[in-house]
Structure 1
Amino acid sequence: IPNVVNLTEAKRIAEFVCSVYEKVLEIYQEQSPNPSLMAAIRLGETINFFTDFSSPWTMVALELPAIEKLATSLEPVLRQLRQQHISAKDRRAIGFVTTQFHFSTQLVLNRLTLPEQILLSPYFKFVEEQVSIPWQRICNAAALHDFNSPTLALVEQLLPVSQDIAQTVYQRTEELHSGHFSRRGGLDDPGIKASTIRDLEMFQGYLWLCALEGNMTSIEQELLPLCLLVFPSVDVSWKLAEKMLQLLVDELNARIESDQMYLLLPYTKGLLELFSDLEQKAL
């Protein structure tokens, strides 16, 4: 592990991640459960907010009024976490902890009863997105663009459908590589599906950050090193990752007009170039 990240830095950042959990639970305890969600529990409905995106109960639960309060309350904690990121000598440490945050969330949920899982899952999903996707930096970069910026318009067009894009890409991958198996299981495994869709959303977030910033620095210096470190530890196939990213680029291209292509091409091309020959880059 010391060869992956500096343990002192990772431990310091992990302490802030722990404070995120504590804040989430604090806000959760202050809330009254959504009546519709309680009805789902009484009916014995099973909800997995990390996989069942289209479930009507998922949509109801994700409309919890506490989400706005959660975002506001977590901002100071996440700001401290970002400061640790900035001060870390190895910027990959935050990425390593981000991955651990995802698996820790799954472990916590697995220890809860079904009603507890249903009530807590939307909070954890919201926070996981805040931790793994650079939303604040995307917003800051967007704020520097004029309101009539074509790049900003492109991001505003595709960012809201990033989850749908991720699901479509995963479904296509599953169709093309149905026989793929790793130590964790096949592509139809719910855990693999959830984590991969999360990663596809993360890739889109970083892609839009690069487009708004006008360079590939964030992907080259943060996302690529993170993937080179983490993918082997979770048994991700390099070849499958490359093919999936090509499918992601194809899906993005299919959702824009021909006169928008020039805005996206430098960044999708850069993404594919950076993530080509991953097996060699990982050596």
Structure 2
Amino acid sequence: MQPLSPDQLHGIVMAALQEDAPFGDATTAALFPDPVSASAVVLAKQHVTVAGLAVAIQTFREVDAALTMTEHVPDGSTAQAGAALLTIAGDARSILRAERVALNFLQHLSGIATLTRAYCDAIRGYPAKILDTRKTLPGLRALEKWAVSLGGGTNHRFSLSDGIMVKDNHIALLAQAGLSLAEGCRLARERAPHRLRMIVEVDALEQIPMALDGGADVILLDNMIPADVRRAVDLIKGRALVEVSGGITLATVRDYAAAGADFISIGALTHSAPAADISLDLTPA
């Protein structure tokens, strides 16, 4: 499974390589002017859901197409601490040139997939889905959302173009213009492409009837406790899907699933996932 088209992946990887060594690897070039044969193994140092091997492999290939690589586990698989993920053989100078960039991608994306898997495991047995958000690093959204999907999560909208989402700031502007939430929702429905789902964010139970009156497909309950989510689900009565968001942790996510949420969106999947502990060990031939 590739996260992006070859051209898109090439652009992201080349930008990262240019950033890391705009004028080459000064240290390795000074120490080893001639080719040095070596092999290297990329190792998981923790239990991890692997994401980003395709990007790491692309990184090594962009540096040196003559490198040979063996992928030991596929993206999306689970690896235990000590497991070999990837073996590389060829010129040690090329391996060292690509090492940091390849590991940066692999550690970051595997961290996202691993955290996502933990959230999905925490709500096992409930029908709720774990969603990501647009809280991603600029330029890496497609890769980060790919990592979420590898961890078992579901992608929310990729961009502002992918759906109608009426949030608190929109509601404030509507009020300033003398429009109610329901009127604003109907206006959005009339003017936006018909295929787009409409999500309406509410932070009080009193807003739910207005969101329903406006034709919301999904009502997003923002920063509500599980008891209020239960009350909201009772009010909505299946007339819209229910999404919850805001400050949800691994310790509390199951309570929200039990409260009846259809979707649980978690910005931390992409903006706060710790990097996975993955290393590269090189051995001279």
Same fold (TM over 0.5): no
Higher relative CO (Cα under 8 Å, sequence separation at least 6) belongs to: 2
Give 1 or 2: higher helix fraction: 1
TM-score range, shorter chain: under 0.3
Report the structure number with the largest CA radius of gyration.
2
TM-score, normalised with respect to structure 2: 0.26
